[in-house]
């Protein structure tokens, strides 16, 4: 397969950020015929940097379809797992997130880079050292905080008690043993303590339903008690969509509050889902990473060391919110106001 020169150049830069070098082994993990061009280009890029590389291709079944969190073709595949745990780095194009298998590979000291966006998004949101600096600064604040609160003019007011779970940073590359990241990305997040998230979240038009890759059209109110959504209400279709989607998994743990964080990638575009009809279908990293969003979510928490492995995951990036860590304000009405995380106006798209 011929490798496009622009793709090869970008992927070589990405793997250089990841510290790929001679003597390392890079496994590109794919399923069926998905992402074949990108997989071939990543192997070529790894080879240019002197690494040994090959493609591990597995088959999907109905039970591990794309978009079902924590369900993938590695479950029960001991040989594939042994191979991946023997690598220096795995490029994940299957989707291992929120799975016990991903945690096991990381525990073996393998760094993992998830890549499931089309080339135009990878190019648009390509990571920088400054993005890493700001995301890691946010991580440090979250690690020291004992309470997160976010509000909105629409009526959101919810409090997370913190400290039980670690903090994860995503800035788009990984060069540390056992570290996972998502290319591209741009946020830090954690999980509220078990049973210690309470309040009200009001979704507004323009907030994002990542599971459906669409924008909220009508207000939805979610009442949260002791870390669980106990009521979903709203006069429009969105409240019905959310509740029906969650109920379809037949798992009460799908109503659990999952991770919380905020977006810091100034290259990410909130409006991206509205302009992609002429472009290859994208995943959700623009939505998760756009500058100043509050990344509110429901569902699994295995990624943070929890025990909730429900297959239902709802990311709900919200605009126009204010957010505090203890007494330090980070966001005001959707603007990043903390000086260490701000981007100079001249560099914003």
* Distance between CA atoms of residues 290 and 125, nearest Å: 10
pLDDT for residue 67: 46
Q: Are residues 251 and 134 part of one domain?
A: yes
* Distance between CA atoms of residues 138 and 159, nearest Å: 18
Q: Are residues 258 and 229 part of one domain?
A: yes
Q: Please state the φ and ψ torsions of residue 292, each to the nearest 5 degrees.
A: 90, 0
Q: Which of 60, 83, 116 is the last residue of a domain?
A: 116
Place of tokens 């071939």: 40
pLDDT for residue 61: 73
Q: Are residues 107 and 135 part of one domain?
A: no
**Domain tally for the chain?**
2
**What is the CATH classification number for the domain harbouring 106?**
3.40.50.2300
Q: Are residues 38 and 170 part of one domain?
A: no
Assess if residue 121 is contained within a domain.
Answer: no
CA dist 213 to 28, 64, 173, 193, 283, Å? 27, 20, 24, 29, 8
pLDDT for residue 71: 63
Q: Are residues 190 and 44 part of one domain?
A: no
* Distance between CA atoms of residues 112 and 181, nearest Å: 6
pLDDT for residue 207: 98
Assess if residue 276 is contained within a domain.
Answer: yes
Report the DSSP pairing between strands 147-152 and 321-325. antiparallel
Assess if residue 17 is contained within a domain.
Answer: yes
Q: Which of 70, 90, 116 is the last residue of a domain?
A: 116
Q: Are residues 150 and 82 part of one domain?
A: no
Assess if residue 252 is contained within a domain.
Answer: yes
Q: Are residues 92 and 135 part of one domain?
A: no
Write out 22-44 in H/E/C secondary structure. Answer: CCCEEEEEEECCCCHHHHHHHHH
Q: Are residues 235 and 165 part of one domain?
A: yes
Q: Are residues 56 and 169 part of one domain?
A: no
Q: Are residues 230 and 281 part of one domain?
A: yes
Assess if residue 82 is contained within a domain.
Answer: yes
Cβ-proximal residues to 145 (8 Å cutoff; 6+ apart), any chain: 162, 325, 326, 328
pLDDT for residue 277: 58
Q: Are residues 173 and 80 part of one domain?
A: no
Query: How many Å separate Cα 218 from the centre of its chain?
Result: 25
pLDDT for residue 346: 47
Assess if residue 16 is contained within a domain.
Answer: yes
pLDDT for residue 276: 62
pLDDT for residue 52: 98
The DSSP secondary-structure symbol of 207 reads B
Structural domain including 200 reads 126-347
Specify the 3-state DSSP secondary structure of 144: helix
Paired tokens of 290 = 């756009």
Cβ-proximal residues to 333 (8 Å cutoff; 6+ apart), any chain: 153, 320, 321, 322
Q: Are residues 134 and 107 part of one domain?
A: no
pLDDT by residue for the chain (349 residues), tens digit each?
788 999 999 999 999 999 999 999 999 999 999 999 999 999 999 999 999 999 999 998 754 444 444 567 898 899 999 999 999 999 999 999 878 899 999 999 999 999 999 999 999 999 999 999 999 999 999 999 999 999 999 999 999 999 999 999 999 999 999 999 999 999 999 999 999 999 999 999 999 999 999 999 999 999 999 999 999 999 999 999 999 999 999 999 999 999 999 999 999 999 988 876 556 678 899 999 999 999 999 999 988 999 999 999 999 999 999 999 999 999 999 999 999 999 975 454 4
Q: Counting Cβ atoms within 10 Å, is residue 104 exposed (0-12), middle (13-18) or buried (19+)?
A: middle
Assess if residue 55 is contained within a domain.
Answer: yes
């Amino acid at each position: 397969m011929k490798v496009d020169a622009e793709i090869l150049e970008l992927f070589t830069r990405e793997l250089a950020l990841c510290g790929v070098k001679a003597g390392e082994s890079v496994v590109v993990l794919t399923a069926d015929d998905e992402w074949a061009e990108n997989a071939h280009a990543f192997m070529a890029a790894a080879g240019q940097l002197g690494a040994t590389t090959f493609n591990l291709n597995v088959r999907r079944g109905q039970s591990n379809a794309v978009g079902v969190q924590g369900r993938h073709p590695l479950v029960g595949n001991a040989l594939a797992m042994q191979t991946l745990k023997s690598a220096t780095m795995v490029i994940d194009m299957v989707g291992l997130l929120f799975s016990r298998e991903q945690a096991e590979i990381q525990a073996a000291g393998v760094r993992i880079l998830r890549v499931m966006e089309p080339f135009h998004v990878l190019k648009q949101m390509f990571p920088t050292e400054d993005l890493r600096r700001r995301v890691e600064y946010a991580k440090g604040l979250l690690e020291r905080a004992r309470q997160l609160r976010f509000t909105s003019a629409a009526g959101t007011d919810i409090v997370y008690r913190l400290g039980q779970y670690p903090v994860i940073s995503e800035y788009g590359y990984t060069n540390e043993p056992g570290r996972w990241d998502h290319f591209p990305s741009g946020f830090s997040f954690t999980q509220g303590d078990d049973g210690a998230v309470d309040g009200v979240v009001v979704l507004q038009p323009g907030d994002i339903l990542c599971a459906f890759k669409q924008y909220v059209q009508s207000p939805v109110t979610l009442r949260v008690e002791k870390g669980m959504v106990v009521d979903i209400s709203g006069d429009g279709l969105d409240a019905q969509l959310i509740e029906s989607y969650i109920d379809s998994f037949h798992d009460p743990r799908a109503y659990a509050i999952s991770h919380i964080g905020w977006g810091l990638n100034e290259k990410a575009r909130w409006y991206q889902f509205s302009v992609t009809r002429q472009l290859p279908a994208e995943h959700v990293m623009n939505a998760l990473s756009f500058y100043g969003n509050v990344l509110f979510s429901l569902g699994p928490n295995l990624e943070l060391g929890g025990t909730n492995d429900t297959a239902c995951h709802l990311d709900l990036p919200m605009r126009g919110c204010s957010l505090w860590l203890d007494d330090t304000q980070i966001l005001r009405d959707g603007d990043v106001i903390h000086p260490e995380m701000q981007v100079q106006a001249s560099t914003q798209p």
